Structure 1
Amino acid sequence: MLEIVKHHIVFLDRESLQATVRPPAFAHQWREFAATDAVDAASRLHGATIAITNKVPLREADLARLPDLQMIAVAATGTDIVDLAACRARGIVVSNIRDYSLVSVPEHCFSLILALRRNLLAYAADVAAGKWQTATQFCLFDHPITDLAGSTLGIVGYGALGQRVAQIGRAFGMKVVVNSRSAVTDAGVTSVPLAELLQTADVISLHLPLTAQTRHMIGAAELATMKPTALLINTARGGLVDEAALAQALRDGVIGGAGFDVLTKEPPADGNALLELDQANFILTPHVAWASAGAMQILADMLVDNIEAFVAGTPKNVVS
């Protein structure tokens, strides 16, 4: 007997996930698009019961055109692209992916930290410019090199990723302080107010979601309280930091440097204040901290797990 197809699944931006996505273990129709402009999302989801999106926004006006939609499977952790209140009002289940990049993001985070603390970009540029080749001794000392051991790592947001970053920091011999909404009981980690963390940390790493409360939580006033040698690392969400204020702070030497993997608008087709920076104490990567091959495959497997759990009547990783 043929199984009745009850679910029509549409993946709006399949190209954003470079991994094998196994077919869900129930009768279904599947359509996928490499990428989708926001204005086309609702028309492409016409008749769909399950939508998969990584970064294509789904707002109230879109949802109003989709009476068949029962679930939105977000192929990421962040859900700010989805109007959660509108989903709750319409009974649409929204599930996200959690803890899939517990290796990839912390490793990228420390790649940025180490490159900046040891001035790797500046020294690589010196070699490319021929300075080492004409040096009077065996090495160059043109840029300061600072060890991580003995310095203070400040972590804002102490979920699973923040905890992994703390573990690596302690392995490097760093003192770890955190600012977290939840109680912190880990040995070797001290919980402090945000203002104290900003003032005392040598490296500050952000690991919290973008919400109305966290948007631009670090602006010109906060940057001015940081140590002039401090580094600001953001592998979370671009909107956490006032990017124009950061660009000016880096030009003026207010802080020692920054390493970012995220911007407020991605891709930054219309420009961004941080794109204009051309200095060795700033590193910008194109939102790839999460994207190791291993992490993307874990994400793909969790994505289908979420869909199968919903269809089985036991939805998990539900945010709305």
Structure 2
Amino acid sequence: MSDATLKLVVTDQAFGNTRHEQAAARAAGATFAEFACRSEDETLDAVRGANAVLNNFAPMTRKVMAAMAPGAVVVRYGVGVDNVDLAAARDLGVRVCNVPDYGVDEVADHAAAMTLALARKLGRYDSGIRAGEWKIDRMVDGLRSLRDTTVGLIGLGRIARAYAARMAVFGCRITGFDPFVPEDQIRAAGITPLSRDEVIGTANILSLHVPLTPETRHLINAAAIARMPKGAILINCSRGGLVDEDALATALVSGQLSGAGLDVFEKEPLPPDSPLRKAPHVIMSPHAAFYSDASVDALQRLASEEALRGLRGEPLRCALT
């Protein structure tokens, strides 16, 4: 295949420009096309015959990837690849990679900001003042000192450890579970290793940092929430499917949980009839924890460099298949 026939496609993106992506196409002598795909059929039409695909959230199913050129590469903008059928990619000979090392500080900052706002109950103070109240005890109750707070982490990758370091500064005790991280590394990060059930059962603040897989879907369900300390806070800047949102909304209404910070949801955008929209003490953001001017530019640059390697047949930096 000659360079003139190479094709680079962006299935979808929310960054506002594709200058890095277009530069990669020019460097490889490839054609460039950009789309805003949502459905499987739209994505299939967009990637037909493509040699490199840059993908955000559009579904990369077996049917879609079968329409790509032989030996094609899919580059996922970001860390998670739950919208990519990895088993099908292996069967089809499609190379898949992600960008796991951008925006670590931004996501850790975002999770910490949500945690602090909920732990200090800033939203309740704000709404109380707006309603004409000024007496503290009428606005909040059960305000735990951060120095008396246990922060539990499920998953101990880059972002989790960066978040743990931030929360440790406030005097929090940090516990964590990750079967893929050796215990000595966990302790070296200032985190006390516990079983998953122990972390869930003892954390005043529980923060999730794992990928969405069949094994982790609804990791936090009604049973898990019932084991959490009463008045605990849940933080999820990872993947929405980790949490049973109906069970979470019920727990917020009942007071079993005192707050939740959510950057991700099972369905995005969040449906108008989601019970979370009416649940109390929820801070929500639109899958934006990664976002800053610097992190977005780094993400697009790193993804585009990976696509260029794929077009040139070079080894990928962060290959998953």
Q: TM over 0.5, yes or no?
A: yes
**Residue 252 and residue 313 in structure 1: after superposition, are their counterparts in 2 closer, same or farther (change >3 A)?**
same
Q: Contact 2:78–2:102 (CA<8 Å) still a contact in 1?
A: no
Change (3 A) 1:105 1:18: farther
Measured after TM superposition, the shift of residue 303 of structure 1 is: 0.4
Q: Which one of the candidate residues 134, 138, 142 is aligned to 2:139? A: 142
Larger relative helix fraction = 2
Q: Which moved more, 1:310-319 or 1:259-268?
A: 310-319
Moved more, 19-28 or 283-292: 19-28
Question: Residue type matched to 2:315 in 1?
Answer: T
1:57-68 to 2 correspondence within 5 Å? 57-68=59-70
Find the partner of 1:102 among 96, 101, 104: 104
Paired residues for 1:207-286 under 5 Å: 207-269=209-271, 271-277=273-279, 279=280, 281-286=281-286
User: In 1, distance between residues paired with 2:17 and 2:153?
Assistant: 30
More displaced, 186-195 or 97-106?
186-195
Which residue number corresponds to residue 305 of structure 1? 305
Q: Could you tell me how far 1:32 is from its partner in structure 2?
A: 0.7
Distance 1:78 1:21 in 2: 23
Deviation at 1:146, TM superposition (A): 3.4
1:304 alignment partner, SS class: helix
| Match status 1:291 vs 2:291 | yes
Instruction: Report deviation, 1:312.
Output: 4.6
What RMSD in Å do the two structures reach over aligned CA positions? Answer: 1.9
Structure 1: segments with no counterpart, 5+ residues: none
Q: Deviations over 1:25-66 (max 9, x none)?
A: 321111112444332111121221111110001111222333
Question: Are the counterparts in 2 of residues 47 and 69 from structure 1 also a CA contact under 8 Å?
Answer: no
Q: Would the alpha carbon gap of residues 19 and 105 (structure 1) be closer, same or farther in structure 2, given more than 3 Å must change?
A: farther
Alignment partner of 1:162 out of 160, 163, 185: 160
Cα displacement (A) at 1:68: 4.6
Q: Distance in 2 between matches of 1:187 and 1:100?
A: 20
Residue identity matched to 1:210: L
- The reply on whether 1:126 has 2:128 as its aligned counterpart is yes
Q: Contact (CA 8 Å) 1:71, 1:94: kept in 2 or not?
A: yes
Determine the structure 1 residue equivalent to 2:19: 21
Structure 1 residue 244: Cα displacement: 0.8
Letter in 1 for 2:316: P
Q: CA deviation at 1:268?
A: 2.6
After TM superposition, list the pairs within 5 Å mapping 1:162-181 onto structure 2: 162-181=160-179
Query: Counterparts of 1:267 and 1:38 in 2: how far apart (Å)?
Result: 17
Q: Residue 7 of structure 1 corresponds to which residue in structure 2?
A: 6
CA distance in 2, matches of 1:301, 1:67: 23
Whether the aligned pair in 1 keeps the contact of 2:153 and 2:176 (CA below 8 Å) is: yes
Cα 1:58–1:4, aligned 2, differ >3 Å: closer, same or farther?
closer
Aligned partners of 1:48 and 1:69 also within 8 Å: no
TM-score by length of structure 2 reads: 0.90
Structure 1 length-normalised TM: 0.91
Q: Deviations over 1:211-236 (max 9, x none)?
A: 01101111111111111121111100
